Amino acid sequence: MRPVSIDFLASAANARVLGNADRIVKGVQIDSREAGEGDLFVCVIGDFKDGHDYADGAYGNGCRVFLMSEQKAADAILQRDPSACVLMAEDTQIAFRDMAKAYLDQFDVKKLAITGSVGKTSTRTYTAAVIGSRYPTQSSQKNLNTHLGLCLTCFRAEEDTRVMVFEMGMDRSGEIAEYVDWIRPDTAIITNIGITHLERLGSRDAIADAKYEILNHFGPDNLLIYNADSDYLSEEEIVRRTGGNFRRFSVGTKDGVDLQLLNVNTERAGGIRFTLKTKDIALDYSMPVLGEHNAIDAALAVAAGLSLNVPMTQAVKALAEVKPNPRRMNAVKLGGVYVIDDTYNASPVSMIAALDVMDQIRAERKIAILADMLELGEMEREGHLEVGRRVADSSIDVLFAIGPRAKAYADCAAANERIKIYYAEDLAELEPAIQRMLLTGDAVLIKGSNITGVAELAQRIREKLSWER
């Protein structure tokens, strides 16, 4: 981050300055545990937590600049240390956005935004790697793809930054529209349009409308890169929904696309190999990540690189060095057990992709720990049945199905008498059996929606296996 003055931030957010206005801000944080000397701590009021309650912790870590909306909290900080500074705003989230926009507007950068039902984070990671191989590039981090994360991403811009890559998530209509209103991306990538968030949005048409909001301000100079294999992302559908008054670059497995994905295979070492072909060149790619579904995300990243004159030969080298994202097909061998943590979230598409990976790997015994998928709306029952049928047809030897919806996994998997099945509505009921069962030579997949607790289970499994080594 380029250091900025209090006056700059106050002017951007129309905030009042209390205390020492001469301080310089060198970093921005929304987590009090990460806020320290030189940082601005943003006191966000969320559904369950109020950042003002954590200001004292940030102060204890050395932070002396705060964005607040509660006078009582501001008074407490300034009484404790009159040399501290508080920026007072009516709404800290709005003020934070206005600060982020003003900060980013200082830089002459290309802005690329990514959305989609699945694959956003992988595509963002690969895109940043490809473009970053030629230009100084900053991108969203971890799973920070909503309002606060996008604001934090803006403050990652440095003096030499030339490209910013934003990941845009959403769970309601109009959310992405709000983001692009102030970020104004030059290029957009849509990975696919599925059924994630169907419960909230009601239909795939509504999901498509929400994803297409990323193009709200596009004109002839803007570019959409899209996965043409997704049924809601055909050329005809794009034009029908948007008018198509912008440049387009199609990626997919079918003939006639601008960048064609071919020959996707799993390598023995555990990575993937594939070919990308344009009208002028075809090149082989190799990546050290699990899951053939990652190939389409990588292809979208290569297309983004081409749009900024990153040669495909350079993209080959960049993608060969990428690392898996945390909790996304992240594999580690501990105590002779191959643990695959894919717990970031779950949908029928990603569940089936993870089971495809399990079919491709070698292990003496294959164990799947699968929890409920949430936010599927009217597709909830059919989505769980679809996954259950895929389990029945897979090479899985043992299934642990967790949660009331996951009973469909167990019921369908029972069609395959070879599979040993354990089911419970509550994770705590099955965890002792899970921990006892894991043996040298096993491969275990852990997957489910965030709220089900499988991420914590994966961590406990890793800790136990590490201890036993």
- The whole-number pLDDT of residue 48 equals 83
Q: Where are the alpha helices (DSSP H) in 292-379?
A: 294-307, 312-320, 348-360
CATH 3.30.43.10 corresponds to the domain 330-468: no
- The whole-number pLDDT of residue 197 equals 67
Sign of CA dihedral 437, 440, 441, 442: positive
Superfamily of structural domain 107-320:
Mur-like, catalytic domain (3.40.1190.10)
- The whole-number pLDDT of residue 329 equals 81
Q: Terminal CA-to-CA distance of the chain, rounded, Å?
A: 42
Q: CA-CA distance, 60 to 295, in Å (whole number)?
A: 46
Q: What tokens does 228 get?
A: 């043409």
Q: CA-CA distance, 441 to 336, in Å (whole number)?
A: 6
Domain extents in the chain: 4-92, 107-320, 330-468
- The whole-number pLDDT of residue 269 equals 62
CB 414 within 8 A of CB 387: no
CB 410 within 8 A of CB 425: no
Q: CA-CA distance, 207 to 382, in Å (whole number)?
A: 18
- The whole-number pLDDT of residue 140 equals 87
Q: CA-CA distance, 289 to 449, in Å (whole number)?
A: 21
- The whole-number pLDDT of residue 270 equals 72
Top CATH class of 4-92 equals: alpha beta
pLDDT per residue of the chain (469 residues) written in tens, 0 to 9: 999 999 999 999 999 999 999 999 999 999 999 999 999 999 999 888 899 999 999 999 999 999 999 999 999 999 999 999 999 999 999 999 999 999 999 999 999 999 998 889 999 999 999 999 999 999 988 767 788 999 999 999 999 999 999 999 988 899 999 999 999 999 999 999 987 767 677 788 889 999 999 999 999 999 999 999 998 999 999 999 999 999 999 999 999 999 999 999 988 667 899 999 999 899 999 998 888 889 999 999 999 999 999 999 999 999 999 987 777 788 888 989 989 999 988 889 889 989 998 998 889 999 999 999 988 888 899 999 999 999 999 999 999 999 999 999 999 999 999 999 999 999 999 999 999 999 999 999 999 988 899 999 999 999 988 876 5
- The whole-number pLDDT of residue 370 equals 97
**Residue 233 amino acid letter:** L
Estimate the crossing angle of helix 147-154 against helix 175-183, to 10 degrees: 20
SS3 assignment, position 244: coil
Q: CA-CA distance, 201 to 70, in Å (whole number)?
A: 34
SS3 assignment, position 259: strand
- The whole-number pLDDT of residue 448 equals 93
- The whole-number pLDDT of residue 466 equals 82
